[in-house]
């Protein structure tokens, strides 16, 4: 097949070039339901009934309408429909960074549930930009979407502070049980404890923590889990073993690891609160000549698919990503169906996945 492809057909210039002249005709200015009705010799009401699958239409009439729709290529103008029905059947999902693979699977879970219930799910990348964050909530306020699921801790914090709790949204992964906003997440405190206890069981006493911003509740919970696990093991946590980062990038993890290793009496193990961070940490350790897990053990958090692929494969806390997403979607749908109902908060179980990095 590729063999039959003439080289001439392959683009070979690196400059802008005009495309083929064969621009097809633009569609005729789009039809309205009235024109279909005329075509079919019925009223707009009947066309509408057919389009919406109402029962009270004679089969013959229905067929006539369907034929007219087919022939004309008519599509409902949902803008009009939505105005009339006062709903858009659009759900928004806000993520802090689409580049972070942790969110991908959650998003799939949301999408599948949304779809089953006749909703479209669209993704918004908040990119840690406060202006953007707010603008997505505005989409909600202005009725362009029926509801939203927010996975971005920064956005969630901001929204919680703005009395947005009356808006139809739910928080996922980051949340505040006190705020009256439905949420789903895991028990971050226990999960962090589990990670640290695993390191402890491996004989580590000097355990570092690479955390994100403690402005986020999940970061505080994980930090507390880490601290308490150490304390319970009779270890006094050392301030110098802890770092707070405002990014979950690989690079951030790499440089944090380098900093951590510079001190005398550096940790023999590092717990990073995200797999992306942990992968960066492993890279950073390698850069300063440390071998994982022999010199320094590393445990991550999330269990993204990449975690099993790197060298050494990453020991990490697995979050039930798909279920997190599905649950979030169901919570939102519940809230939409019954705005007055108290929607519960949900915690899902996590799991320690032991691989070679620790």
Partner DNA sequence: GTGAAAGCGCTAACAA
Partner DNA sequence: TTGTTAGCGCTTTCAC
| Contacts (CB under 8 A) with a copy of itself, residues 41-60 | none
Task: Kindly state whether residue 288 participates in binding a copy of itself, applying the rule CB under 8 A.
Answer: no
Judge residue 150's burial from the number of C-beta atoms within 10 Å of its C-beta, 0-12 exposed, 13-18 middle, 19 or more buried.
Answer: buried
Residue number, 144 or 291, with CB nearest to DNA: 144
Rg (the chain; Cα; Å): 27
| Contacts (CB under 8 A) with a copy of itself, residues 80-109 | 80, 82-83, 86, 88, 90, 92, 97-99, 101, 103-105, 107-108
Among 218, 217, 165, residue whose Cα is nearest residue 188: 218
According to CB under 8 A, which one of 35, 61, 224, 268 is a site residue for a copy of itself? 224
What span, in angstroms and rounded, lies between the C-alpha atoms of 148 and 358? Answer: 38
Q: Which among a copy of itself, DNA, none contacts residue 187 (Cβ within 5 to 8 A by kind)? A: a copy of itself
What span, in angstroms and rounded, lies between the C-alpha atoms of 354 and 118? Answer: 39
Q: For the chain, how far is it from start to end, CA to CA, in angstroms?
A: 48
What span, in angstroms and rounded, lies between the C-alpha atoms of 168 and 146? Answer: 7
| Contacts (CB under 8 A) with a copy of itself, residues 119-148 | 120, 122-125, 127, 132, 135, 138-139, 141-144
What span, in angstroms and rounded, lies between the C-alpha atoms of 303 and 305? Answer: 6
What would the x/- binding string for a copy of itself be over residues 289 to 318, using CB under 8 A? Answer: ----------------xx-xxxx-------
Residue 286 phi, psi dihedral angles, 5° rounding: -60, -40
What span, in angstroms and rounded, lies between the C-alpha atoms of 115 and 107? Answer: 12
Q: Which among a copy of itself, DNA, none contacts residue 335 (Cβ within 5 to 8 A by kind)? A: none
According to CB under 8 A, which one of 117, 202, 206, 220 is a site residue for a copy of itself? 220
Task: Kindly state whether residue 15 participates in binding a copy of itself, applying the rule CB under 8 A.
Answer: yes
Task: Kindly state whether residue 337 participates in binding a copy of itself, applying the rule CB under 8 A.
Answer: no
According to CB under 8 A, which one of 279, 314, 318, 358 is a site residue for a copy of itself? 279
Pairing of β 242-244 and β 183-186 = unpaired
Task: Kindly state whether residue 178 participates in binding a copy of itself, applying the rule CB under 8 A.
Answer: yes
Task: Kindly state whether residue 236 participates in binding a copy of itself, applying the rule CB under 8 A.
Answer: no
**List of residues contacting DNA (CB under 7 A):** 30, 32-34, 41-46, 48-49, 51-52, 56-58, 60-62, 76-77, 79-81, 83-86
**Residue carrying the six token digits 């392959």:** 10
């Amino acid at each position: 097949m590729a063999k039959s492809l003439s080289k001439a057909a392959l683009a070979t210039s690196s400059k802008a070039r005009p495309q083929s002249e064969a621009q097809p005709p633009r569609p005729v200015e789009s039809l309205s339901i009235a024109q279909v009705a005329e075509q079919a010799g019925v009223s707009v009401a009947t066309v509408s009934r057919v389009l919406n699958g109402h029962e009270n239409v004679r089969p013959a009439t229905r067929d006539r309408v369907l034929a007219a729709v087919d022939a004309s290529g008519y599509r409902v103008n949902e803008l009009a429909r939505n105005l009339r029905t006062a709903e858009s059947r659009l759900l928004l999902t806000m993520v802090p960074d689409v580049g972070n693979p942790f969110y991908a699977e959650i998003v799939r879970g949301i999408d599948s549930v949304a779809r089953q219930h006749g909703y479209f799910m669209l993704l918004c990348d908040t990119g840690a930009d406060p202006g953007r964050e707010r603008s997505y909530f505005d989409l909600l306020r202005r009725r362009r979407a029926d509801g939203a699921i927010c996975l971005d801790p920064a956005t969630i914090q901001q929204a919680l502070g703005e009395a947005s709790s009356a808006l139809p949204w739910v928080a996922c992964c980051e949340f505040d049980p006190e705020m009256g906003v439905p949420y789903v997440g895991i028990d971050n405190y226990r999960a962090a404890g589990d990670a640290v206890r695993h390191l402890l069981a491996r004989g580590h006493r000097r355990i570092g923590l690479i955390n994100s911003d403690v402005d986020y509740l999940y970061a505080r919970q994980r930090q507390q889990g880490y601290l308490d696990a150490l304390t319970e093991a009779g270890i006094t946590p050392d301030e110098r073993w802890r770092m707070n980062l405002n990014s979950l990038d690989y690079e951030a993890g790499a440089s944090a690891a380098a900093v951590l290793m510079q001190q005398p009496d550096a940790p023999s193990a590092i717990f990073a609160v995200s797999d992306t961070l942990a992968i960066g940490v492993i890279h950073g350790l390698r850069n300063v000549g440390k071998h994982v897990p022999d010199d320094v053990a590393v445990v991550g958090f999330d269990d993204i698919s990449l975690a099993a692929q790197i060298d050494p494969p990453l020991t990490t806390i697995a979050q039930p990503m798909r279920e997190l997403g599905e649950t979030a979607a169901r919570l939102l749908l519940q809230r939409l169906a019954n705005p007055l109902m108290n929607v519960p908060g949900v915690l899902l179980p996590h799991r320690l996945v032991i691989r070679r990095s620790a």
